[in-house]
Amino acid sequence: MPLFQEAHNFVVNGGYFTEITHGSSPLVQLQQHTASGAAHDSQERFPPPKCHPRTRERALRIIIAWIKTLRKERTKSVQWLHAPAGMGKSAIAQTIAEECEELDILAATFFFSRGDPKRNRAEKLVASIALQLCESIPELVPHVEAIIRSTPTILTKSLPIQLNKLVIGPFRKIPPIEEDRVVIIDGLDECIGAEPQKVDPAHEQLLVLKLVDTMLSAGLPLSFLICSRPESWIKDGFQTLPSLWACTEVLDLYHNSDMDQDVETYLRPEFARIREASNLPESWPSEGDLKKIVRNASGQFIYAATVIRYVDDPWNPPQDRLNAILAPKIPMDHNPLEALDNLYLTILEMSTNRTLVLETLGCLEACQPSVFGYSTTSVGPSIAHLCETICHWPRQALRALHSLVRTDGTARQASFFHATFLEFLHSPFRSKGFYITKTQYVPYFVGCCLRYLASASNLPFDRDTPFG
């Protein structure tokens, strides 16, 4: 009851009064069930990764053009941006989010993160989106508040029920919105669930896609940008939802970016900054060293950023740090590429069959032209496709490796997306339990080839292989 309600015929002179009310406002209750650090502008993510100026321009143009397309002219309401590990998908998502915010068309954002228990599962996704929708579309507020007041337990219900009550229902009670607002979901592959060792993370990621599918089927004035690695089960998830897949435009960042040019554009001013701060000559680093770093990066911004962070050390000469990065062997007392190696290890450890992973990587290594000695002029199927056929791998052999291993393309192209991945595998210090030597699996692979050739029922190399 408000202070002094219905009181009359008295005067209060001076004094301080505090009115104490029980409970909290509906939006405060909603906020308590969100992952506040998942928003693009959250303090937890500050400063967030962003695209370096004049990089990723091709991909950014494609996405912005899609976002700006009028609803009546847009054929797809979902864009799935995928790329191998470390190529800067989150930086692109952040840059797009900030541009959409400037255009006043941003609805909500959610950045999943494998290591954050609030951001590595779908549990808080709906509440987070609902709260941000209330901020970006204020007309929704009274309807969301009404639901929370009338059904205080709504925030403990299943996610589909939350979505129907807190998002879909309120949208149906407000006047139509002329153009779609954008929802950005980044790092879908990092939505691994509460118990990834017991429950396949693919189920959690499929749940997110089902929630998106439900919003699309409800005809909400929303479009969705979803960013992830090119995991096979995520593609399967899209395709098991026909209505979602039918309105999804796929953007492969690996094939829609100027990878080497982008990395070089990032590296040059960074090295110039370090050079100026350390009073080094203009000739540092040499063009040869710079080009080698660009080649090693293979479009991986995580590699380029790791190099810069390592070289930019106030306690050691930059020249020595750069030489350590470029040396054939890493220093014995520390690992300059620890951040990159942790990424590789995280991906490899997703597989439950380490023996099969080692066999797969070993055979792909053995089938490299530099090892096996065949011509690189072949225009046949990819090396992974050849090995899958020759070695009779089970469907799951490459299931967890799509962000490291090229499963499409032709035999002219390298098996691995990243030039540094083989260096990682060949170092027992770096790859730990995934260490293999350059020729370790050559005898095994040769044996597979001979058995294949001797088989009376050879399978053609150009057959369609799903790769798990």
120: domain CATH number is: 3.40.50.300
Tell me: do 158 and 264 sit in the same domain: no
Residues 6+ positions from 237 with CB-CB distance below 8 Å: 202, 205, 206, 209
pLDDT attached to residue 380: 60
Does residue 57 fall inside a structural domain?
yes
Asked if residues 171 and 220 have their Cβ atoms less than 8 Å apart, the reply is yes
Q: Rounded to whole angstroms, how far apart are CA atoms 314 and 312?
A: 6
Distances (CA, A) of 398 to 335, 358, 391: 28, 11, 13
Tell me: do 240 and 381 sit in the same domain: no
Handedness of CA 336, 338, 340, 345 (dihedral sign): positive
Which of 211, 229, 255 is where one domain is finished?
A: 255
Tell me: do 347 and 323 sit in the same domain: no
Q: Rounded to whole angstroms, how far apart are CA atoms 364 and 356?
A: 12
Asked if residues 347 and 85 have their Cβ atoms less than 8 Å apart, the reply is yes
Tell me: do 247 and 112 sit in the same domain: yes
pLDDT attached to residue 381: 73
Tell me: do 236 and 141 sit in the same domain: yes
Work out how many domains the chain is built from and give that number.
3
Amino acid identity, residue 125? Answer: L
The backbone region for 4, taken as left when phi is positive above 0, alpha when psi lies in -120 to 50, beta otherwise, is left
Tell me: do 186 and 114 sit in the same domain: yes
Does residue 460 fall inside a structural domain?
no
pLDDT attached to residue 16: 47
Which of 255, 283, 310 is where one domain is finished?
A: 255
Question: Tokens 């995580």 label which residue?
Answer: 302
Asked if residues 249 and 76 have their Cβ atoms less than 8 Å apart, the reply is yes
Q: Rounded to whole angstroms, how far apart are CA atoms 445 and 393?
A: 12
Asked if residues 424 and 433 have their Cβ atoms less than 8 Å apart, the reply is no
Does residue 355 fall inside a structural domain?
yes
- Could you list the residue range(s) of the whole structural domain that residue 296 is in? 259-336
Q: Which helix (H) or strand (E) holds 355?
A: helix 354-366
Tell me: do 43 and 171 sit in the same domain: yes
Q: Rounded to whole angstroms, how far apart are CA atoms 105 and 180?
A: 7
Q: Which helix (H) or strand (E) holds 222?
A: strand 222-228
Does residue 16 fall inside a structural domain?
no
Asked if residues 310 and 272 have their Cβ atoms less than 8 Å apart, the reply is no
Does residue 110 fall inside a structural domain?
yes
Tell me: do 181 and 89 sit in the same domain: yes
Query: Bridge partners of 183?
Result: 108, 224
Tell how far CA 90 is from the center of its chain.
6
Tell me: do 389 and 346 sit in the same domain: yes
Tell me: do 346 and 332 sit in the same domain: no
In this structure, the chain runs to a length of: 468
Tell me: do 157 and 169 sit in the same domain: yes
Cis amide leading into 285 (omega within 30): yes
Amino acid identity, residue 371? Answer: V
Does residue 4 fall inside a structural domain?
no
Model pTM score? 0.85
Which token pair is 407?
């499963």
Query: Bridge partners of 181?
Result: 222
User: pLDDT (tens digit, 0 to 9) for every residue of the chain, 468 residues total?
Assistant: 455 555 555 555 555 443 434 457 999 999 999 998 999 999 999 999 999 999 999 999 999 999 999 999 999 999 999 999 889 999 999 999 999 999 999 999 999 999 899 999 999 999 999 999 999 999 999 999 999 999 999 999 999 999 999 999 999 999 999 999 999 999 999 999 988 878 889 999 999 999 999 999 999 999 999 999 999 999 999 999 999 999 999 999 988 889 999 999 999 999 999 999 999 999 999 999 999 999 999 999 999 999 999 999 989 999 999 999 999 888 888 899 999 999 999 999 988 889 999 999 999 988 876 555 455 455 567 788 888 888 888 877 888 888 898 887 776 778 888 889 999 999 999 999 999 998 899 999 999 888 888 875 555 554 444 344
Helices (H) and strands (E) in the chain, counts: 21, 5
Does residue 217 fall inside a structural domain?
yes
Amino acid identity, residue 69? Answer: T
Largest CA distance in the chain: 107
Handedness of CA 455, 456, 461, 467 (dihedral sign): negative
Q: Rounded to whole angstroms, how far apart are CA atoms 263 and 295?
A: 9
Which of 255, 288, 303 is where one domain is finished?
A: 255
Does residue 8 fall inside a structural domain?
no
Cis amide leading into 26 (omega within 30): no
Asked if residues 134 and 141 have their Cβ atoms less than 8 Å apart, the reply is yes
Helix axis angle, 301-311 to 287-297, nearest 10°: 140
Tell me: do 224 and 291 sit in the same domain: no
DSSP string, 25-57: -HHHHHHTTS-GGGSTT-STTPSPP-PPTTSSH
Q: Rounded to whole angstroms, how far apart are CA atoms 393 and 416?
A: 18
